[in-house]
Amino acid sequence: MTDQTSGEERVIRLASIVSIDIVGFSTMSERDQRNAARKVENLRARIERVAVANGGRLFNTAGDGFMLEFASAGQALGAIQELLDKRSKGEPPIRVGAHVGDVIVTATDDLLGHGVNVAARLQELAEPRTALVSSEFRSMARNSPQSAFQSKGQKPLENIDQRVQTFEILSKRQKFARSSRRIGSMALAAAVLGVLAYFSPQLYSIGMEYWRNRPQPAAEQSQANTEQAAATPAETPASPTEDSPTRVPGYAFSDCTGCPEMTVLAGGLFVMGSPDNEPGRGRDEGPQREVSVTPFAMGKYEVTFAQWDACLAGGGCNGYSPPDAGWGRGDRPVTGVSWEDAQAYVNWLNAQVGGTSYRLPSEAEWEYAARAGQAAAYAFGARVTQTEATFHARQTTPVGAHAPNAFGIYDMHGNAGELVEDCYAANYDLAPIDGVAVEADECGRRVYRGGSYNDQAPVLRAAARRSTEPTSRTQGIGFRVARSLD
**Which domains does the chain carry?**
2-174 (3.30.70.1230), 252-484 (3.90.1580.10)
Q: Any idea what DSSP says for residue 428?
A: S
Element (H, E) at 108: none
Q: What is the pLDDT of residue 230?
A: 37
Contacts for 312 with CB less than 8 Å, ≥ 6 apart: 319, 320, 321
Cα–Cα distance, 279 to 77 (Å, whole number): 27
DSSP, res 395: S
What is the sign, positive or negative, of the torsion defined by CA atoms of 136, 139, 143, 147? positive
- Grouping H, G, I as helix, E, B as strand and the rest as coil, residue 358 is strand
N- to C-terminal Cα separation, the chain: 50
What does the pLDDT read at residue 149? 81
478 with 472: CB under 8 angstroms? no
What is the chain's length? 486
Residue 378 DSSP symbol:
B
CB 477 within 8 A of CB 339: no
Q: What angle do the packed helices 339-353 and 305-313 form, to 10 degrees?
A: 70
In a 10 Å sphere around its CB, with 0-12 CB exposed, 13-18 middle and 19+ buried, how is residue 461 labelled? Answer: buried
What φ, ψ does residue 432 adopt, rounded to 5°?
-70, 155
Half-sphere exposure of 333 (CA within 13 A, CB side): 35
The pairing of beta strand 268-272 with beta strand 289-293: antiparallel
Query: What is the rounded CA–CA span in Å between residue 134 and residue 139?
Result: 9
Q: Which of 367, 373, 383, 361 is nearest to 463 (CA)?
A: 367
Its pTM stands at 0.53
Determine contact, residues 389/460, Cβ cutoff 8 Å.
yes
Q: List helix spans (H) across 14-161.
A: 25-31, 33-53, 73-85, 114-125, 135-141
| Torsion from C-alpha of 305, 311, 314, 315, nearest 10 degrees | -110
Cβ atoms of residues 398 and 331 within 8 Å: yes
- Looking at residue 167, what is its pLDDT? 85
Regions of the chain short of the pLDDT cut 70: 1-10, 142-147, 159-162, 171-247
